[in-house]
Amino acid sequence: MFNLTTIEIDAFYLTLKVAFFSVAICLPLGVITAFTLSRLNFPGKWLLDGLVHLPLVMPPVVVGYMLLLLLGRRGVLGSWLYDTFDITVAFTWKGAAIASAVMAFPLMVRAVRLSLDTMDRGLEVAARTLGASRTIVFLSITLPLSLPGILTGTILAFARSLGEFGATITFVSNIPGETQTIPLALYNFTQIPGDQTPAIRLLTISVVVAFAALITSDLLARKVKNRLGTKFEADQ
Amino acid sequence: MISAEFVVERDDFLMDIKLEIPSTGATVLFGPSGSGKTTFINVLSGIIKPMSGLIKVGKATFFDSEIKINLPIEKRGIGYVFQDGRLFPHMSVEENLDFGRKRSNDRTSRKKEIIELLGLGQLLQRKPSTLSGGERQRTAIGRAILSGPSFLFMDEPLAALDFARKQEILPYIATLKKNLKIPIIYVSHQMEEVVRLADHLVLLENGKILDHGQIFDIINSPSLRILLGKDDKTSLINCHVDKQTGKDGLSKLIFPGGYFFVNQRNLVPLENVRIELKAQDVALALEKPIATSIANILGASVAKIETSKDTHCDVLLSIGNISIWARITQQSASKLGLKIGSPVFALIKSAAIRPF
C-alpha cells in the first residue's frame, strides 16, 4: 500500500515547494504591510486594508480567475513579465506559489498585525529615549516582540498553502509534475471510480505533513515564549 | 538650563507653560494627578509635540514652532525613567543596561560604577519578568543613566511600588543625585519624595504653573498648602554630620549657627544631610527647662506669628542663621505673651528630626 507512485511523490514535493515559496513571499510583505497598517496613518489606509483582506472574503476561484487575467501570458502584468524578463507564471509551479501566497496573505497580515496592535507601544518610546532611531527600534524591539504573531502568521500561511485548491486550479490548472499539488492530485483520484488506495495514501501524507507542521510550530512557539520571558508574566 | 515655553491642547485639557529649569540638582514637578506633570516631561523629551512654543536646553533647540524645528526623541540626549519601568522583556538586565549605553558617546567605565551604585550585580543575567518591582525600577534607572543623558527625567518612578519598595529605592535615587551630578527632573505627587530630593520645586495645577523656585522658598508657600489641602508647616534645614558621632547613639548635625542631636546612628561623618522638621513637633518655652527628656533646646527669637482661624498659631523662629516653624495653640501663645522679637527656647525631641 505504501509504494508511492511518481505522481504521488511529485505531488508531495511540489506541495512542499509551493508552500515554502508561498510563505517566503508572504512573510516579508506581510510584516511590512502589518506594520504599515498598525503604526502609520495615511490617506487611503482603508483601501489598503480592504485589498489585503479581499482574498479572505472572495471565492478562491474568483481570486484564481483574477490572477489569470492579471498574470496570464496575455494579462496586464503577465505580458510585461514575459516581454521583459521572459518569465511565465501562469500554468507553472511559480503561479501555484503566487496563488497560494495571495490566499494566505490576509492570514499572515492579520496575525502579525494583532501582535503589533497589542504590543506595549511604550517600549518603543522607551527605546527611542535611549537613543535608538526608528529603524533600530523596529529591528531590535518591534520585530522580536512580534515574533509570536509572525510565527502564528507563518504557520497559518503555510497551512493555507498546503490546502490551497480553488485559486490554484483556476490560475495554473492541474498539471501533474508542474502544478498538481496534493489536494489537486487527490481531487483527480476521487474523480476516477474504482480503487481508492491512491487517494487514501495521499490523505495519509496530508495528515502527516499537517501534523509535522503543527508540532514544529508548537516547539518554535515555546522557544519564542521562553526568550520573551512571558512564562512568568502571569504571576504579576 | 532648560527654557520651555509651549502650549499643549488635548481633548479638554489645556497646558500653557513658561518656565526655566536650572541645570543643576533635582527639580521636582509637583501637583495632583491630571495637573500635567507627565505631559510636561513628555513635551520636553519629544514624546508629545506641543501646538506651539520654543524649547531650548543649553544651546540646543529641541522645539521651535516658528522655524519648524522638532528634534526627534532619540536626538535629544535625555534619559527617561518611566513609571512602569518599561524594561525590554526579551533582553536580560545587562542587555537592557547596554541598550542605551551602546548608543551614547560616553562608553567608559561608568557601567561598573552604576551597577554597583544601584546594586544590580546579582541581577545581570536575569530576565525582567523574574525581577521584583523594585529591582525592575533600579534596572530602568541604571539603563537611563548609562545612555549618558544631559538631563534625567523620572516620571513617578516609585508610584507603582509598595511602601517597603519605595523605602528601598528612594535612598538609591538620593545617592544618585549626590554622586552623578546629572540634573534630574522628577515628577511626583508624594510630599516625602519632594522634601527628600527636591532642590527646586515647580507646582502644577490644571496645566498651569502655580509657583516655582528654590525648595526652601516654596516649601511653606501658600500655593503648596492649597495644593496639599492642609495647612501643615514644615521646615527644611541643610546640615552636615559632625565628625564625632554615634557614641551614645545620637548623631550631631551642624547647621549655620547651631546643632541638633538626632536619634540615628548610621549617618556618615561630614556628609551633608537635609532634615525635615514639622511645625507641630516644635514646642516653646520662655525659660530653659533643666530636667527634661528633650534633647534639643535651642535659643531662638520670634520672627513672625501667623494666627489661624483655628485654635492654633504658627510661630517662625530665628535660630542662628536658619528659621524654623513652631505650631502652638493660641492659648499657649497668649499665656507666653509672645511678640515679634521675644526670646524663647525651641524644644525639639531628637526623634522628631528626620534626616535624609
**Domain extent listing, chain A:** 6-228
Contact B90 A145 (CB under 8 A): yes
Distance from CA of B6 to the nearest CA of A (A): 21
State residue A21's pLDDT score: 96
pLDDT one-digit tens code per residue, B2-20: 899 999 998 888 999 999 9
Distances (CA, A) of B66 to A235, B6, B51, B61, B70: 50, 12, 11, 12, 11
Q: CB–CB of B241/B269 below 8 Å?
A: yes
Mutate to test the interface with A, among B129, B155, B161, B162 (most CBs of A within 10 A): B129
pLDDT one-digit tens code per residue, B125-184: 999 999 988 899 999 999 999 998 989 999 999 888 888 788 778 888 888 888 888 899
State residue A2's pLDDT score: 64
Amino acid identity of residue B77, one-letter, is: G
CATH number for region A6-228:
1.10.3720.10
Its pTM stands at 0.82
CATH topology of domain B235-355: OB fold (Dihydrolipoamide Acetyltransferase, E2P) (2.40.50)
H helices present in A72-181, as ranges: 76-85, 93-118, 121-129, 134-137, 143-145, 147-163, 166-172
- Right CATH for B2-229 from 3.40.50.300, 3.40.640.10, 3.40.50.11750, 2.40.50.140: 3.40.50.300
**A233 DSSP assignment:** G
Long-range CB contacts (< 8 A, 24+ apart) of A67-75? A67/A95, A67/A98, A67/A99, A67/A102, A67/A167, A67/A170, A67/A171, A68/A170, A68/A171, A71/A95, A71/A98, A71/A171
Pairing of strands B151-155, B2-10: unpaired
Pairing of strands B272-278, B234-241: antiparallel
Contact A125 B127 (CB under 8 A): no
Residue B104 sits at the chain A interface (C-beta within 8 Å): yes
Contact A227 B90 (CB under 8 A): yes
Helix (H) / strand (E) containing B327: strand B322-329
Distance from CA of A119 to the nearest CA of B (A): 11
Contact A233 B129 (CB under 8 A): yes
The C-alpha angle with vertex A60 and arms to A73 and A168, in degrees rounded to 5, equals: 45
State residue B261's pLDDT score: 86
State residue B274's pLDDT score: 84
Distances (CA, A) of A177 to A25, A206, A216: 22, 17, 27
Residue B274 sits at the chain A interface (C-beta within 8 Å): no
Residues in chain B closer than 8 A to A145 (CB atoms): 89-90
- Residue A84 burial (CB count, 10 A): 8
pLDDT one-digit tens code per residue, A200-215: 888 998 899 888 888 9
- Confidence at A235, pLDDT banded by 50, 70, 90: very low
Residue B340 sits at the chain A interface (C-beta within 8 Å): no
Please identify every stretch of chain B with a pLDDT value under 70, giving residue numbers as ranges: 105-109, 245-247
ipTM above 0.90, yes or no: no
Grid coordinates given for B207: 496645566
Residues in chain B closer than 8 A to A140 (CB atoms): 99
